[in-house]
Amino acid sequence: MKPWDIDLAIYEDELALLEGLRRRDRLACTCLVKRFAPRLYQLAVRLMGDPDEAEGVLQESVIQACAHVDAFQGRSELGTWLHRIVTNTALMHLRRRRPVTVDLEEQLQRRSPLPQALVDRTTEPSRAVIGAELREMVDRAIAALPDTLRTAFVLREVEGLSTKEAAAELGISESALKVRVHRARLMLREALAPYVHGEGRRREADA
Amino acid sequence: MRGEHLDAACRSWLELAAQAREADDRDERLAQLIAEHLAACPDCAASEAALTSLIQRYRDAAQPPLSEQRERRLLDLLCGPASASLASRPQPDR
Ligand SMILES: [Zn+2]
């Protein structure tokens, strides 16, 4: 048994969990981590494009959330509130990290060619299944996008926020968001060309 | 579907998109121009549809879990090593 193998059912109810967090209850903190951290970590990895930096973002976000839990109004769901904290923290880290580059040519040249052998040829029964290698390739292609394009793309296309919501989270206009998403998609089309064409063949075969 | 799309015409769109500096008054027009091109160009439309399908499958895919190490570091940070007090046995040395 691990130190945190505990009964998570105690805080299954979100209001009870919030109460526990306000009391600074250790068990409540553990429940928060158990329930939300995996999902928030994924978001951080996708926004930062780096697992170690994502861990720092996750840590800072959860500490912030626990410290400011009194400020949580309960107007949105706890998960949505945490999502916003992680996004904001990631953006802060990205701004600090390095000057933003949107030089497409440089990005395309930096990109290492994709090994053809890794093209996903699995004939999985469900379209919902994605090969591990393919997922890794998409992860890498997203990570290689310039920060401004990656954050726009991840929020809009991966996290599924509306244009309005994603633009608000990034503090840019909706048209700026649309342009960033277009740019990201164009770069991904190039970077993932073998997979995109595989996907085209898959669609043709399905038709 | 051609094996290698992104011909000269489409590439010029990439370059335009890359060179354009963000400015609210131009963004709307640029977004519209790109969308118009994607709709009018059969190659781009096919690539876009294929990319959408790929990204959809990527979204639906199970993600690798948060590793136990990272989870433990987070818990230690939040609750302090005292989280061991919840344990039925002591934490291993680190
Ligand atoms: Zn085109």
CATH (domain of A20): 1.10.1740.10
Measure the CA–CA gap between A58 and B44, rounded to whole angstroms: 37
Q: Which residues of A touch B46 (CB under 8 A)?
A: 200
User: How many independent structural domains does chain A possess?
Assistant: 2
A73 lies in the same domain as A162: no
Q: Give the pTM.
A: 0.74
Residue finishing a domain among A74, A95, A116 = A95
Percent of chain B with pLDDT over 70: 56
A162 lies in the same domain as A75: no
| Chain mean position to CA B46 | 20
| Chain mean position to CA B44 | 20
A43 lies in the same domain as A85: yes
- Which CATH number does the domain housing residue A144 bear? 1.10.10.10
**The pLDDT value given to residue B88:** 37
Measure the CA–CA gap between A174 and A181, rounded to whole angstroms: 11
Taking an 8 Å cut-off on Cβ atoms, the answer to whether A196 and B50 are in contact is: yes
Instruction: Report the amino acid identity of residue A83.
Output: H
CA-CA distances (angstroms) from residue A136 to A37, A47, A130, B54?
21, 15, 10, 13
Residue finishing a domain among A38, A69, A95 = A95
CA-CA distances (angstroms) from residue A102 to A106, A127, B74?
9, 33, 33
Q: Which residues of A touch B13 (CB under 8 A)?
A: 186
Q: Which residues of A touch B83 (CB under 8 A)?
A: 3-4, 26, 30
pLDDT (tens digit, 9 = 90+) per residue, A146-188? 999 999 999 999 999 999 999 999 999 998 898 899 889 988 9
A39 lies in the same domain as A133: no
A89 lies in the same domain as A17: yes
Residue finishing a domain among A95, A128, A148 = A95
How far away, in angstroms, is A165 Cα from ligand 1 center?
A: 29
Among candidates B17, B51, B86 on the partner chain, residue whose Cβ is nearest the Cβ of A188: B51
Q: Which residues of B touch A105 (CB under 8 A)?
A: 15, 18
Low-confidence ranges of chain A (pLDDT < 70): 1-8, 98-130, 198-207
Taking an 8 Å cut-off on Cβ atoms, the answer to whether B6 and A33 are in contact is: no
A108 lies in the same domain as A91: no
**What are the b/e assignments for B6-37, b being 16+ CB within 10 Å?**
beeebeebbeebbebeeeeeebeebbebbeeb
A155 lies in the same domain as A85: no
A29 lies in the same domain as A76: yes
Taking an 8 Å cut-off on Cβ atoms, the answer to whether B6 and A41 are in contact is: no
**Parent domain of A67:** 3-95
Using a CB–CB cutoff of 8 Å, tell me whether A189 touches chain B: yes
A13 lies in the same domain as A66: yes
Among candidates A38, A173, A200 on the partner chain, residue whose Cβ is nearest the Cβ of B1: A200
A12 lies in the same domain as A70: yes
How far away, in angstroms, is B50 Cα from ligand 1 center?
A: 14
Question: How many angstroms away from the CA of B78 is the closest CA of chain A?
Answer: 7
Better-predicted residue by pLDDT, A118 or B61: B61
A124 lies in the same domain as A60: no
A111 lies in the same domain as A90: no
**The pLDDT value given to residue B44:** 83
Using a CB–CB cutoff of 8 Å, tell me whether B41 touches chain A: no
Among candidates A29, A138, A179 on the partner chain, residue whose Cβ is nearest the Cβ of B30: A179
What is the pLDDT of chain B when averaged over all its residues?
71
